[in-house]
A = this chain, B = another copy of it.
Amino acid sequence: MYKSNNISNSVIRRLPRYYRFLGQLLKQNVTKISSRELSERMRVTASQIRQDLNCFGGFGQQGYGYNVEALRDEIAKIIGIDKQLKAILIGAGNLGRAITMHLDFEKNGCKLIGIFDNNLAIENLQIANLPISHINNLKNFCLKEKPDIAILCIPRDSAKEIVQNLIDLNVKAFWNFSHYDINLEFDDIIVENVHLSDSLLTLAYNVNNQIDRQD
């Protein structure tokens, strides 16, 4: 068992990468790996790998290394991939539709259960086997289905009201593609921001300043 308290954000952010790497190793039929080897492949120091995994109880065996499948399963459990959190998408424009079609939600710990948009012209169109519902149906849907996560693919200007409504409806976590900074106005809400333009601007800075940086 591990304790989830006091684990730094940066360790948590590395977990999905470990999970992804271990999945790739499994595909290549690699069944065990030393922290040194894993460190070379991931370009992370071996001591960081050991430290990171120790936060969750440690999984290596001295002189043997890590069992790839067992470690991957353990990380899946830590992340809670099997919990299949209920997610809804708000905003079925280009970006919302692309994310819905591009991502395998179930492999990433979630199940997409509803899609909402305020555009009557696309009501009932299907994306990823779900019909687009009008945003007016959001309240009843949330009362009944109790989603865990809302994915926001809406413009900044409409985000504040929607976020307030969703929080009132007990949605406590947001995957936020909008430019609305949720945490500036609401506390105790879990937010994961994906600010595409911030990311592109960071790249532009690095290119313009010719700095070689890695993630």
Q: Residues of A with Cβ closer than 8 Å to B?
A: 4, 9, 12-13, 15-17, 19-20, 41-43, 78-81, 83, 85, 93-95, 97-99, 101-105, 107-110, 148-149, 172-173, 175, 179, 183-184, 187-215
Complex-state Cα separation, A210 to B12, whole angstroms:
13
Q: Which of A20, A98, A149 has the most CB of B within 10 A?
A: A98
Contacts of A83 in B (CB 8 A): 204, 208
Contacts of A205 in B (CB 8 A): 12, 15-16, 78-80, 109
The oligomer's copy count stands at 2
Q: Of all chain B residues, which has the CB nearest A209?
A: B4
Q: Is B85 touching A94 in the complex (CB atoms < 8 A)? A: no
A66 to chain B, nearest CB (A): 19
**A190-B211, A191-B214 known; A12-B206 Cβ under 8 A:** yes
Instruction: Kindly list the 7 A-B residue pairs having the minimum CB-CB distance in the complex, ordered from nearest.
Output: A98-B98, A80-B208, A109-B204, A16-B201, A16-B198, A192-B203, A4-B209
Contacts of A204 in B (CB 8 A): 79-81, 83, 85, 108-110, 149
Q: Is A206 touching B173 in the complex (CB atoms < 8 A)? A: yes
Complex-state Cα separation, A190 to B199, whole angstroms:
13
Complex-state Cα separation, A43 to B41, whole angstroms:
37
Given known contacts A15-B201, A108-B201, A194-B194, what 14 new A-B pairs fall within 8 Å (CB)?
Answer: A4-B211, A16-B199, A20-B198, A79-B208, A85-B207, A103-B197, A109-B200, A172-B207, A173-B207, A175-B200, A175-B203, A183-B214, A192-B199, A194-B196
